[in-house]
Amino acid sequence: MDAKRPNASAVLVSGSAASLLANLIDLLFSLFILPLMVAELGKEHYGIWTLIGQTIGFLVLSNLGVSNAVGRFVARARARGDAEELNAVVSSSFLMMAFSGLVILLASLLLLGPLPGWLGIQPADHAAARVVFLINAGTLALALPMRIGAGILSGYQHYGLVNGMQTLYSLGRVAGVLALLAAGRLSLVPLAWALSAASLLQYLALLVIGLRIIGGVRPRLERASLPVAKEVLGLGLASMVLSSSSSLYREGIVLAAGPLLGPSTAGVYGVVLTVVTRISGLLSQLGNPLLTLASEAQARGDMKQLRALSDGVLRVTFALGVSAAAGLAVFGEPALRLWLGGTDWTPAEYQVAAQALTLMSAALAVGLPQLAARSLLQGVGKHWVVSWGFLLASLGGLGLAVWGMRNGWGLLGAAAGWSFVLLAQGVFIYPPMLLRALEQTPGALLRAAYLPGFLVGLAVWGASAGMAAWFPPGSPLNLLFGVGVGFLAGLAGLAAVSQYVRKRLLRILRIKKK
């Protein structure tokens, strides 16, 4: 057992930085390969790809949150120096995940026949859809037990390795798409094989590295422990409620769009969803350390620090979210037209996709700070309250999306349902909980966190709208120029509202404060 413990602050900073970098690289790679896939597959087949991918997202729930719980119990065993407990955690988790993989295979075989019809896929594409579904489900089943590798590395605080492998996986996806494109074989089934291979290699590498780090520990049946399995499963179930809630409004809305709007429109919505979720993943990294920091502050009874942590993170995340929404409102449609210009999208689809992107990014701006607040509430022990609040919001969003799509809202109905979840969390669910936990008034929260962020977003919108008026963003150069000016306006605004950002900028520019 490793006796050394890295400094907690260093772990938090390095972990957040590594996660931010991995998400940024994944965003850039996704922006690069997505138009290639849509152009080569066509919007109909890309819609099939999206629908099957979201179905697989639901099957992931069969792991019962075990993969998310492994890291905590590995860390506990390591802190105790208990090799026997570490053996039991690794072996029990591996066996439970292997069982989950078997359940996925059986469920996939049962769903294989009727699934394409349920998703609204045309009969001519049923055979290809079934093969793609079976490849992806089989990959998931094989990868599930390997996922304990990421949990082991997290328990040893090797977040850089986990994020590094995520980056290599992103690179593998790009390489696979480009290789198929060069060979003239970029279609549904070869694409499924290529990306599945990249995924399996990622999880296999994480498992091998994780097992090497813990030395002689290997998953074995005789080392499994029923009490340990119950502990891991108990924590995993709480995590699964959050995962289930996420799937309800993300995968659930896409899957409802298939039979209600057709695979083609579901694919257009899938592109918009990819953009928004990648931006969300990137901007939400600031709140990652908040759970641990809030736990420490609560343990010391330091309410002043808790409020300062909350106000600072909410202020910056709201500023980031509003800035992103302002930029997308101005440049969304021209950016989509330039980005996806080689696809078979129609002018009407570009227009409605831009409208959906504006709506969803505005909701993200409101809900994004409360994703950080959710971490803080979990850090002060409000796990199940947070989970059930998220679940109720997700059910409401899915219901609104289905109702809207049934009543002629089309793709905007799906966008409205997704947006409802973020707005409910950002306005009605988490703020009252946060105010009670921090013993803070609504006025104080608005002044400290939301007003500065709103002013930053207003500055970005003004700069972006001015650039769009002077330099119409119909060409790549004008678009990049306008986005760059908006980015600089946002950076200046962040420097004004965030002491941390201001210090980093001053250090970069080598300017000494007078």
User: Are 303 and 237 in the same domain?
Assistant: no
User: Are 450 and 506 in the same domain?
Assistant: yes
Q: How far apart are CA 388 and CA 41, in angstroms?
A: 39
Can you tell me the mean pLDDT for 115-137? 94
Residue from 163, 143, 155 nearest 21 by CA:
163
User: Are 101 and 232 in the same domain?
Assistant: yes
User: Are 201 and 316 in the same domain?
Assistant: no
pLDDT tens across 280-316, in order? 877 766 555 554 455 455 556 666 777 777 777 778 7
* pLDDT at residue 319, as a whole number: 84
Q: Name the range with the highest mean pLDDT among 20-24, 334-338, 390-394, 435-439.
A: 334-338
Domain containing residue 294? 271-381+440-514
User: Are 292 and 213 in the same domain?
Assistant: no
| Residue 499 falls inside a structural domain | yes
Can you tell me the mean pLDDT for 220-243? 58
| Residue 31 falls inside a structural domain | no
User: Are 141 and 285 in the same domain?
Assistant: no
User: Are 138 and 285 in the same domain?
Assistant: no
Band the pLDDT of 226: cuts 50, 70, 90: low
End position of a domain, from candidates 249, 281, 316: 249
User: Are 190 and 300 in the same domain?
Assistant: no
User: Are 348 and 485 in the same domain?
Assistant: yes
Model confidence at 5: pLDDT above 50? no
User: Are 375 and 513 in the same domain?
Assistant: yes
Q: Output the 3-class SS for 75-90.
A: HHHHHHCCHHHHHHHH
* pLDDT at residue 16, as a whole number: 56
| Of 117 and 166, more confident | 117
Can you tell me the mean pLDDT for 267-276? 92
What are the structure tokens assigned to 127, written together? 């055979």
212 and 201 in contact (C-beta within 8 Å)? Answer: no
| Residue 111 falls inside a structural domain | yes
Model confidence at 4: pLDDT above 60? no
pLDDT tens across 35-83, in order? 999 999 999 999 999 999 988 877 776 555 565 567 767 777 777 777 7
* pLDDT at residue 223, as a whole number: 56
Mean of pLDDT over the chain = 81
Band the pLDDT of 90: cuts 50, 70, 90: confident
| Residue 237 falls inside a structural domain | yes
Return the minimum-mean-pLDDT range out of 170-174, 349-353, 384-388, 440-444.
Answer: 384-388
| Residue 420 falls inside a structural domain | no
| Residue 221 falls inside a structural domain | yes
DSSP assignment of 164-197: HHHHHHHHHHHHHHHHHHHHT--SHHHHHHHHHH
User: Are 63 and 151 in the same domain?
Assistant: yes
Confirm whether pTM is higher than 0.85: no
Separation in Å, CA 97 to CA 1, 240, 462, 490? 24, 14, 51, 44
Number of domains observed in the structure of the chain: 2
| Residue 394 falls inside a structural domain | no
* pLDDT at residue 411, as a whole number: 94
| Residue 17 falls inside a structural domain | no
User: Are 90 and 170 in the same domain?
Assistant: yes
* pLDDT at residue 6, as a whole number: 47
